[in-house]
Amino acid sequence: MDDMMDHGKIIKVNCLIVGSHAVGKTTLISRLMNSTIKKDYELSTRVFIDRKSYSIAGIKDRIEMIFFDFPGKQIYRNVLYRMIQNLGQPMIMIGIFDVTNRSSLNQLEQLFQIFNKNLSQETSKLSTTIESSNRFIIANKIDLIDKRIISTNEIQSIAKKFHCPLLESSIGNDLTIKDIEQTILEIIKSNISLSEVRNRTESMAGLS
């Protein structure tokens, strides 16, 4: 993520939120933006963009997160792939599914499989844009205990398959939002640290 250091005092990070419809993508962004949850659900039919600034301990620059809420319909997948290629890095991907809806997990798994295929086939375009270390999975609606049909063990197996961190959550819960934000910021901090090490190594190599 060498480009993370190119923005000077403001580090801009794209955060793409993907998944099937009605899994909680829009609610997640509303909570991250400290907005109230809408009681009337509306199916997203276009990409919504929000921004939020963060400060990270040990990082002198301000972080500007750019959140992309992408529609869950399959017809938008080609647009999603083009966006990923064009947005460039740094980028984080959050995949969300509903533990009461197996179809939402199947669709997310298919989406990640397609990304992995693209990563191997188009290394020059995508592999440095979304790495496994820059994405994680949210298993949402765990508060609906009686309706849950996807077990923790099954979810953990899928997260391991895609080498992604996993958070089981109820996005409407304040503690859950803090955990999600913390995961995002840890990914950013880790990549900034790696970028600084690379830059120092390259500088020393140039002097030798």
DSSP string, 52-88: EEE--TT--SEEEEEEEE----GGGHHHHHHHHHHH-
Q: Is residue 2 part of a domain?
A: no
Q: What is the pLDDT along the chain (208 residues), one digit of tens a residue?
A: 444 444 458 888 889 899 998 999 989 998 888 854 554 445 555 778 899 998 888 788 888 999 988 776 665 666 777 777 776 666 888 999 999 999 999 999 988 887 777 655 554 444 444 555 688 999 999 999 999 999 999 999 999 988 888 999 998 887 788 899 999 988 888 876 655 434 443 443 444 4
Q: Is residue 3 part of a domain?
A: no
Q: Is residue 5 part of a domain?
A: no
Q: Which helix (H) or strand (E) element contains residue 103?
A: helix 102-121
Q: Is residue 89 part of a domain?
A: yes
Q: Is residue 1 part of a domain?
A: no
The secondary structure of residue 188, as a DSSP letter, is: H
Q: Is residue 69 part of a domain?
A: yes
Q: Residue 196 is part of which domain span?
A: 10-206
Looking at the 3D structure of the chain, how many domains does it have?
1
Q: Which helix (H) or strand (E) element contains residue 30?
A: helix 25-32
Q: Show Cβ contacts of residue 22 under 8 Å, excluding neighbours closer than 6 positions.
A: 41, 43, 72, 98, 101, 104
Q: Is residue 115 part of a domain?
A: yes
pTM assigned to the model = 0.77
Q: What is the CATH number of the domain that holds 104?
A: 3.40.50.300
* Farthest-apart Cα atoms in the chain, separation: 64
